[in-house]
Structure 1
Amino acid sequence: MEIMATPSNRLILQSDWDSAVRERNGKAWVSFKSATPPSEYSEVCGHGRSPEGLPYLTTKDEQFSVSDITKKSVVIAYNGETASLSRKFVAPTITFSAIHNPNKQVTGLDTSSGGLGVSSDSEGNLRLWQTDTGEVRRKLEGHVGDVYTCRFFPSGIVVLSAGSDMMVKVWSVETGACAATMTGHKAAILDTAIVDRGRNVITTSRDGTAKLWDVGQQQCLTTFEELRGDVNCCSLGSPENSIDLGPANNALSDREVSTDGKMLLLGCENRSVQGFGLQSREQIFCLNCDSAVNACTFVSEVFAVCGTQEGRVYVLDLRNTSTPLTSWKESRGPVLSLLAHKGGFFVSTGDGSCFHVSDDWATSTELTGSDCDPLYKVCSDGTSIYTACRDGAIRRYSLTYL
């Protein structure tokens, strides 16, 4: 196991670098933030554009260099006396600023492969919109208070939402009508997961429980209790067959569908990430972290990852959960959201950064755009990555540049 005690080095590029260097003589700042100060600063300088529309870029100081320049991305390298580092920086292809009030935080976000997005803000608004134009198609009204989580069912035509009003709601994308409402939690609902095609869903709450629901009859099938504090996040995965998920449960309701072979991850305020056999209801492991666990997700059949309030990322090997496979902390804010992608994962944080960690657990790519405003959620529709920000904007990044 490798655990880094001190924050690792970072390269940071001005959030709006792509527009700053668009014209001749344009400039954007870049810095190498060292784990052992002082940091070093320089500038990326624009010198116009090629006939193909690509910017001509140079750096002010020889320790920094640029390469692999495209319309929306650039690779910047730092080579100093004691350290060297290289990162790809990707700018958004479009920023949607009118879906929500710019003065309100966008806290919930999901997108479908059918060209639709759903998002929620700190004013309790729930919006359904087109991912190509940002045009709001429907306002989903019925929650009372903040909506903390929203996501599409696999069909892409149904939305699941929940929030401070302790209600779980299911919405029709086609009509905007609320098709079902489930109640039973005693405090705000912070996260949800969908089992298979969606006959059952999972919710986690500040009341210290997670619940498995039957959507059709709007009833709770089981409650995971004694989790010792707020349950901030959850993720559902299907680990490889060698991982023991507990004994088969022969007393299941016929309303419980496709829970066999599933592991439920729960990230808790008490600094733990816990794994349960969804069908067996048995706890498989409990790993203590450095601080409250804000986000967790499965990366593959054998790896999962979680992120904490102190900004530390933990990678877990589900075949041996007694200790994390690796753990590290970068010079960033709290981890707020995780998204599995190509054997690795994206991380969004409280300081406005969003970065991709490759399948060898190394940071490779940074998404720019947020000027230090927290990014509460990161998601994908298969062709683009989207982020939800405190500044009220939703940004889209093309996967062709990543």
Structure 2
Amino acid sequence: MDSHRIIREAEGEVWVSCKIPGKPTIRGSLTSKGISSDEVPEVTASEEFVVQEVTKNRITVSCPEENISCTFLSPYASFSHIHEKNVSYLDISSGGDLGVSSSTDQTFKVWETHNTEVKSVLEGHTRDVFSCKFFPSGQEVLSGGLDSLVKVWSVNDGSCLATMKGHRGSILDIAVVADGQNVISSGQDGTARLWDSAQGACIAVVDDSYSPINAIAVAEVGNAVNLGSPKETPSNREVGTEGKLVVLAREDKSLEGVSLHSRQSVFDFDGSDAFNCCTFISSVGVLAGGLDGNIIHVDIRNPKSAVETVSWSETPVLSLVPFRDTYVASYGNGTCYIPLKGSEQVLQLTGPNRQPVFQVAAWKKLVYTCCRDGFIRKYEIPDLG
């Protein structure tokens, strides 16, 4: 199902559709006929759909013909005062108390999640910041952007603690390894680099290909696959790379897994279009989202073919984030989906009106999104089951 906004007015109508790949789209409408005494909308559906449940902030609608249902959830809170233009990236600290976000207004800020007050402004990048992530401690932030620099920042006073130079093009993604003594970056220049975050020095070029690496993901995989052994003795500055796999999502439609310690290729998967994002959903399961809207599930132990391919939209997948025992996917048309594991039900986060949702972050029951419309939205996710 697909909807761009939930009914909020006392009276109004919105269109709803159910699209199954390879089948004709089923279209209908939802109509609000007023608000009850307990402030719950009174909603009816056209004959193609059935309204199953309505609360103050969500509506569940089913399509009997396809035996599928979708719950549309409105934001718990929305705020646009942190940045003046598009919010291009955000992350939430491990404690859930802080957020960090960047914008095309060239601002880059740390803020408190409970009241959205700005704690520090991080100044030092000369152009847009494309990616920013907290270290596990929540006391430092890692960033990378259009100026080809990777930087480490203090959350408390906003000072730059280290700057890493070496990429020959924009930084497209970054990742923190273990406790953060080492970090990884990927770029437009087709390289993925391992850094000593304290010294700001490049330890190794993990991968060097001709194609831009749009996204990376790192996880402990242990003995699930053969990660190989280093051909040379690793630098003593390399910390916490043993047993870890870094997944590289490339513009050339390839998805590759590389041992972070040995630098050896572990698997290579060819997709149907350029990959924009990737994430681990288990120690052996990887999700990758493509320009064509497909989400590919790959088991690193048997990567010859995808475990599953799903598509909630024909627009590009912009971000993928693990959430409980499932995941959140955001798209270029403003939709965000949380599939319910083991069922045909989907939770859709509403709010953006066809504006791309660039990034999603999750903490416990909360999901945060950032959008081209300048809003950061906060959702309280109900129990999924």
Matched residue, 2:17: 31
Is the contact made by 1:342 and 1:359 (CA closer than 8 Å) also made in structure 2? no
Matched residue, 1:41: 28
Matched, 1:85 2:68: yes
1:198 to 171, 180, 188: 180
1:74 to 59, 78, 93: 59
Residues 208 and 361 of structure 1: is their aligned pair in 2 closer, same or farther, counting only changes over 3 Å?
A: farther
Letter in 2 for 1:12: D
Is the contact made by 1:90 and 1:401 (CA closer than 8 Å) also made in structure 2? no
Is the contact made by 2:188 and 2:213 (CA closer than 8 Å) also made in structure 1? yes
Deviates more, 1:215-224 or 1:25-34: 25-34
Task: Report deviation, 1:239.
Answer: 1.7
Is the contact made by 1:18 and 1:91 (CA closer than 8 Å) also made in structure 2? no
Partner SS, residue 54 of structure 2: coil
In the alignment, the residues of structure 2 paired with residue 212 and residue 390 of structure 1 have an alpha-carbon distance, to the nearest angstrom, of 31
Task: Report deviation, 1:69.
Answer: 2.8
- In the TM superposition, 1:363-378 aligns within 5 A as 364-378=346-360
Task: Report deviation, 1:267.
Answer: 0.4
1:394 to 352, 359, 376: 376
Is the contact made by 1:336 and 1:377 (CA closer than 8 Å) also made in structure 2? yes
Task: Report deviation, 1:325.
Answer: 1.1
In the alignment, the residues of structure 1 paired with residue 299 and residue 341 of structure 2 have an alpha-carbon distance, to the nearest angstrom, of 13
In the alignment, the residues of structure 2 paired with residue 210 and residue 236 of structure 1 have an alpha-carbon distance, to the nearest angstrom, of 12
Residues 202 and 38 of structure 1: is their aligned pair in 2 closer, same or farther, counting only changes over 3 Å?
A: closer
Partner SS, residue 138 of structure 2: coil
Deviates more, 1:330-339 or 1:161-170: 330-339
> What residue ranges of structure 1 are gaps of 5+ in the alignment?
1-10
Matched residue, 1:168: 150
In the alignment, the residues of structure 2 paired with residue 105 and residue 372 of structure 1 have an alpha-carbon distance, to the nearest angstrom, of 14
In the alignment, the residues of structure 2 paired with residue 139 and residue 242 of structure 1 have an alpha-carbon distance, to the nearest angstrom, of 42
Matched, 1:62 2:43: no
Residues 111 and 196 of structure 1: is their aligned pair in 2 closer, same or farther, counting only changes over 3 Å?
A: same
Is the contact made by 2:99 and 2:110 (CA closer than 8 Å) also made in structure 1? yes
Task: Report deviation, 1:356.
Answer: 1.2
- In the TM superposition, 1:2-401 aligns within 5 A as 11-15=1-5, 17-20=6-9, 23=10, 25-33=11-19, 35=21, 36-37=23-24, 39-51=26-38, 53=39, 55-80=40-65, 83-101=66-84, 104-112=85-93, 113-247=95-229, 251-360=233-342, 364-400=346-382
Task: Report deviation, 1:98.
Answer: 1.0
Deviates more, 1:87-96 or 1:70-79: 70-79
Is the contact made by 1:44 and 1:58 (CA closer than 8 Å) also made in structure 2? yes
> What residue ranges of structure 2 are gaps of 5+ in the alignment?
none
In the alignment, the residues of structure 2 paired with residue 287 and residue 14 of structure 1 have an alpha-carbon distance, to the nearest angstrom, of 33
Task: Report deviation, 1:265.
Answer: 0.3
Partner SS, residue 2 of structure 2: strand
Is the contact made by 1:355 and 1:363 (CA closer than 8 Å) also made in structure 2? no
Residues 99 and 57 of structure 1: is their aligned pair in 2 closer, same or farther, counting only changes over 3 Å?
A: same
Residues 56 and 107 of structure 1: is their aligned pair in 2 closer, same or farther, counting only changes over 3 Å?
A: closer
In the alignment, the residues of structure 1 paired with residue 192 and residue 274 of structure 2 have an alpha-carbon distance, to the nearest angstrom, of 17
In the alignment, the residues of structure 1 paired with residue 86 and residue 287 of structure 2 have an alpha-carbon distance, to the nearest angstrom, of 26
Partner SS, residue 340 of structure 1: strand
Residues 207 and 348 of structure 1: is their aligned pair in 2 closer, same or farther, counting only changes over 3 Å?
A: same
How many residues are matched?
382
Task: Report deviation, 1:167.
Answer: 0.8
Deviates more, 1:165-174 or 1:123-132: 123-132
Partner SS, residue 68 of structure 1: strand
Is the contact made by 1:45 and 1:60 (CA closer than 8 Å) also made in structure 2? no
Query: Which TM-score applies when normalising by structure 1?
Result: 0.90
In the alignment, the residues of structure 1 paired with residue 209 and residue 340 of structure 2 have an alpha-carbon distance, to the nearest angstrom, of 32
Query: Which TM-score applies when normalising by structure 2?
Result: 0.94
Residues 18 and 61 of structure 1: is their aligned pair in 2 closer, same or farther, counting only changes over 3 Å?
A: closer
- The RMSD of aligned alpha carbons is 1.9
